[in-house]
Amino acid sequence: MSLWREIVARRIATLHDSAADKRMDLAAAIRRFVRPGMKINPVTMQARPQAAMYELCRQFAGTRPGFEFVSSALSGSYLQLAHLGLLRKAVVSFAGEGYPTPGPSPVTRWALERGDFELENWTMLTISQRLLAGAMGVPFLTTRSLIGSSLAEERQTAGGYAELPDPFNPGQVQGVISAYQPDIAFVHVWAADRAGNAVCFPPYQENIYGALAARQGVVLTAHQLVSTEFIRRYSHLVRIPAEIVLSVSEVPYGSHPYGNYSAGIPELRAYANDYSFMKEHREAQGSRERYDAWIREWILDSADQDAYLAKVGDERLRALHRAAEPDAWQDELELHSESLDQVRRGGNVEEMIVQASREVAKRIVDNGYKTVLAGAGQASLMCWLAAHRLREEGVEFALLAETGMYGFDPRPGDPFLTSYRNLPTCTLLTDVFEALGLHGCGGVNACMGTIGAGEIDKYGNVNSTRTATGEFLVGSGGANDIVTSAAETVVVAAQRTQTFVEKVGYVTSPGAKIRCVISTMGRFEKLDGDELVLTGYLPAAGRDREQAIAQIRRRCGWELKVADQVEALLPASEEDLALLRLFDPERFFLGKPADK
């Protein structure tokens, strides 16, 4: 055999696997690589590194390691880190609870009251942009978010954000944000080889920018370990390269109570969010004592992930696999058939959502919007109704969720923003950076936004960050990014004086491009100026125009301007209500049903 043939046969013909073997028990990996005072980044993709965070709790409980936590949200099962006193600071866009409805968490309040913990507020997109800058090795990136908000003022004073003269557009100002590099990142994936090459499934949410930016590297957990041949077969789904990985631990269901979508790859069977577990976790936050007991039961008294899963139980895990199947919603609707069969008039919240869906549909047609970035809860439901309304009229637009879901066809039964049932219906799966910064509201902006509001003033400024007394609420999440980037935004809010205020105490999302607000009693629009004007009333507001206006004035915290022609808005149809209730049969966002 000639030399070159012998070289081919011996060295080239067979693909080689990496000689690196980074397999390690998770507890050993954390003992080896995690030190007090580190900046830690649990990388939140559609799967969370939950098992790694539980192990962090086990090893550091009873100490004050002073970690700085960076991620898009300090919520759900990340809250234990704050409660146990492991964090000195959380650099986040949202701090609270997300399921079943977004809202403040007492765990955050308790941690802030201790005085040894602080929150640094950003937005969902700017968190990703800061980590991306860190991964790129550049000192800062430009951003369209923050400008005009209290967030901008806060961050300019405290650091990390500045507004500079635009060198290419004289007289214009450009916002810039500083790079952020964590010391160590934690990532949970579906599959990895022993070297650390890892398969992840979209939507990527935060994406792996924090992992790439991490100075020390990544502590990786995988649902299962696979061969490098498997990795090569699905290389288009590999997001984590071995070179940035410190350790690899096989940790089945390492994302629980959060699920993991697998895009139909037969070797990897998807499992859904464990909503009952998440609900129990939120209920446990009713008191410090109950939450302490919950943490002991599920984390501290479980030696490791195997013990934790034994407590979860095989039957529960099998149910989660079933719940992740694309047609599972049909079975669940049957469980609610009795309530869905009942014919009831629309409640105030239902009427609001239906009217808002009509407004969204009208503005899409009038302005030619191609995409709609929907916020959580009621802001999503109104867009889902609008999509069905316009589809029947032959008008198409793409629904986007900030987590990276694009062009999805919402399935019934689950109104949660990150519902796994909607993933198989997407035409594109991406991340926060692309959803909020490119596809939704990029250079060619044909995008409408929708959000809810806990507090809004006559100029459309929205507050979801602090109460009038200074108490922390939840933060921006993606709301500021949507409002500052979309061509215009429609807002939904309950009509009450504590929501409709003369002036918000903190501008989370500036109102300049908020053009319409639908409340539980009326429609408010910006006509010729920058102030919201009453242009329509819902049936719940009163029997006639004068009565309706008087009712709305009583629940509005400013001297309300009223249009010359105030429209009596048509009530929701029976079909509108039936469709809406299919999306939220447990009425998480619809509230109590109205009388028959």
* pLDDT tens string 516-535: 999 999 999 999 889 999 99
Average pLDDT of the residues in 225-239:
94
Q: Count helices and strands (H / E) in the chain.
A: 21, 24
Residue 17 domain-assigned?
A: no
412 and 307 in a common domain:
no
Residue 403 domain-assigned?
A: yes
Whether the Cβ atoms of residue 516 and residue 490 lie closer than 8 Å to each other: yes
Residue 319 domain-assigned?
A: no
174 and 110 in a common domain:
no
- Asked whether the predicted pLDDT for residue 140 surpasses 80, the reply is yes
Using CA atoms, how far apart are residues 143 and 485, in angstroms rounded to an integer?
10
Using CA atoms, how far apart are residues 571 and 488, in angstroms rounded to an integer?
25
Residue 327 domain-assigned?
A: no
Q: Packing angle between helix 305-312 and helix 50-60, nearest 10 degrees?
A: 120
Residue 1: which pLDDT band, with cuts at 50, 70 and 90? confident
Query: What is this structure's pTM?
Result: 0.94
Using CA atoms, how far apart are residues 253 and 223, in angstroms rounded to an integer?
6
Bridge partners (DSSP) listed for residue 23: 248
Angle at 229 between CA 223 and CA 232, to 5 degrees: 85
N-to-C CA span, the chain: 89
Residue 71: which pLDDT band, with cuts at 50, 70 and 90? very high
Give me 401's structure tokens: 């969720």
Express as a percent the part of the chain with pLDDT over 70. 100
Q: Structurally, how many domains does the chain consist of? A: 3
Residue 318 domain-assigned?
A: no
**Whose CA is closest to 347, among 80, 36, 590, 60?**
590
Q: Maximum CA pair distance of the chain?
A: 99
In this predicted model, which residue has the larger pLDDT, 265 or 257? Answer: 257
Average pLDDT of the residues in 81-94:
97
Using CA atoms, how far apart are residues 140 and 414, in angstroms rounded to an integer?
39
- pLDDT number for residue 539: 82
298 and 353 in a common domain:
no
Q: Which amino acid is at 439?
A: H
Secondary structure element (H or E) that encloses residue 511, with its range: none
560 and 547 in a common domain:
yes
115 and 195 in a common domain:
yes
Average pLDDT of the residues in 247-259:
97
Using CA atoms, how far apart are residues 490 and 382, in angstroms rounded to an integer?
10
Q: At a CB cut-off of 8 Å and minimum separation 6, what does 560 contact?
A: 458, 534, 552, 553
Burial environment of residue 154 by CB neighbours within 10 A (0 to 12, 13 to 18, 19 or more): middle
- pLDDT number for residue 88: 98
* pLDDT tens string 373-423: 999 999 999 999 999 999 999 999 999 999 999 999 999 999 987 788 898
* pLDDT tens string 478-501: 999 999 999 999 999 999 999 999
DSSP string, 399-433: EEETTTEES--PPTT---TT-GGGGGG-SEE-BHH
Residue 149: which pLDDT band, with cuts at 50, 70 and 90? very high
- Asked whether the predicted pLDDT for residue 153 surpasses 80, the reply is yes
Express as a percent the part of the chain with pLDDT over 90. 84
Bridge partners (DSSP) listed for residue 42: 186
- Asked whether the predicted pLDDT for residue 508 surpasses 80, the reply is yes
- pLDDT number for residue 596: 62
Residue 221: which pLDDT band, with cuts at 50, 70 and 90? very high
Domain boundary among 288, 312, 336: 312
Using CA atoms, how far apart are residues 197 and 238, in angstroms rounded to an integer?
7
Average pLDDT of the residues in 5-25:
87
455 and 420 in a common domain:
yes
Residue 88 domain-assigned?
A: yes
Whether the Cβ atoms of residue 491 and residue 516 lie closer than 8 Å to each other: yes
Give me 337's structure tokens: 């058939």
- pLDDT number for residue 305: 97
- Asked whether the predicted pLDDT for residue 116 surpasses 80, the reply is yes
**Whose CA is closest to 576, among 366, 419, 379, 382?**
382
Give me 45's structure tokens: 């993709």
Show the beta-strand stretches assigned E in 19-158.
39-42, 67-70, 73-75, 87-92, 94-96, 118-121, 140-143
Whether the Cβ atoms of residue 538 and residue 520 lie closer than 8 Å to each other: yes
Residue 244 domain-assigned?
A: yes
Residue 284: which pLDDT band, with cuts at 50, 70 and 90? very high
Whether the Cβ atoms of residue 510 and residue 483 lie closer than 8 Å to each other: yes
HSE-up of 165 (CA within 13 Å, CB side)? 3
Phi and psi at 185, nearest 5°, equal -120, 150
Phi and psi at 408, nearest 5°, equal -85, 155
Mean pLDDT of the residues in the chain: 94
Q: At a CB cut-off of 8 Å and minimum separation 6, what does 4 contact?
A: none
186 and 74 in a common domain:
yes
Using CA atoms, how far apart are residues 559 and 557, in angstroms rounded to an integer?
7
253 and 398 in a common domain:
no
Residue 519 sits in a domain whose CATH number is: 3.40.1080.10
Using CA atoms, how far apart are residues 370 and 136, in angstroms rounded to an integer?
31
DSSP string, 271-314: B---HHHHHHHHHGGGSHHHHHHHHIIIIITS-SHHHHHHHH-H
Task: Look at the chain and count its residues.
Answer: 596
* pLDDT tens string 315-373: 999 999 999 888 888 888 888 888 898 888 899 999 999 999 999 999 999 999 999 99
Average pLDDT of the residues in 507-512:
96
Coil vs helix vs strand at 583: helix
Whether the Cβ atoms of residue 125 and residue 481 lie closer than 8 Å to each other: yes
Residue 4 domain-assigned?
A: no
118 and 143 in a common domain:
no
Range of the domain at 356: 348-583
230 and 120 in a common domain:
yes
Using CA atoms, how far apart are residues 44 and 186, in angstroms rounded to an integer?
9
Angle at 474 between CA 288 and CA 202, to 5 degrees: 105
Phi and psi at 396, nearest 5°, equal -115, 145
Give me 286's structure tokens: 């009713």
Bridge partners (DSSP) listed for residue 205: 431
196 and 171 in a common domain:
no
167 and 83 in a common domain:
no
Give me 575's structure tokens: 């079909």
